[in-house]
Amino acid sequence: MPSRTSDIGPTDLLGRVAQAVRAVPDPEIPVITIEDLGVIREVERVGDGLRVTITPTYSGCPAMRAMEEAVLDVGRRAGVPVEVVTRLSPAWTTDWMSEQGRESLRRFGIAPPTGERAHAAAGGPVGLTLQARQVTCPLCGSPDTEEIARFGSTACKALRRCLACREPFDEFKTI
């Protein structure tokens, strides 16, 4: 779901600030912008300033607060009033991550989400067997990888290892 910028010329001050807002890096995975991550829903003109609507990734993700602060900081530095509004519905999904974002993750050594949601919003089946899901190694490209831990260094990642090149790597969980 691409985000929208309404009523702002691309080259005027607000347009440049809106661009800078979109380019704010994810505080925990700085190779991806919050636009590519898919958390920005809308950037709108409100009077002389901007209203930025974001949808959080995980309920408890500590990076959300840092993203909000970074967006507000862009406004402060440009002298433009910026407010950040949180929209919960529809819920964020990794389907909203851009192709460019996925490619940046891969180059950084994080396997991007696979595109099929692990659990459709409701009633998604949860298997009673140990899962065997194919994730490609972002380092050597081998599909021969295994899960080490279902919870990784941040809420959005799991830990895997490649059986071909033997390197461990993070996987961005598909939700």
Applying CB under 8 A, the span of 9-17, 23-31, 101-109, 118-126 interacting with another protein comes to 118-126
For residue 153 the two structure tokens come to 């260094």
Footprint on residues 45-74 left by another protein (CB under 8 A) = 56, 58-62
Among 99, 122, 132, 134, binds another protein (CB under 8 A): 122
- Does 84 help bind another protein (rule: CB under 8 A)? no
Residue written as tokens 């033997």?
166
Q: β-strands 40-46, 49-54: how paired?
A: antiparallel
Query: At 111, is the secondary structure helix, strand, or coil?
Result: strand
Footprint on residues 134-173 left by another protein (CB under 8 A) = 148-153, 155, 159, 173
Query: Total number of residues binding another protein (CB under 8 A)?
Result: 32
- Does 88 help bind another protein (rule: CB under 8 A)? yes
Query: At 130, is the secondary structure helix, strand, or coil?
Result: coil
DSSP-derived letter for residue 4 is E
- Does 132 help bind another protein (rule: CB under 8 A)? no
Q: Which amino acid is at 50?
A: L
Count CA atoms closer than 13 A to 156's CA, side-chain side.
24
Binding site for another protein (CB under 8 A): 56, 58-62, 87-92, 118-119, 121-124, 126-128, 130, 148-153, 155, 159, 173, 175
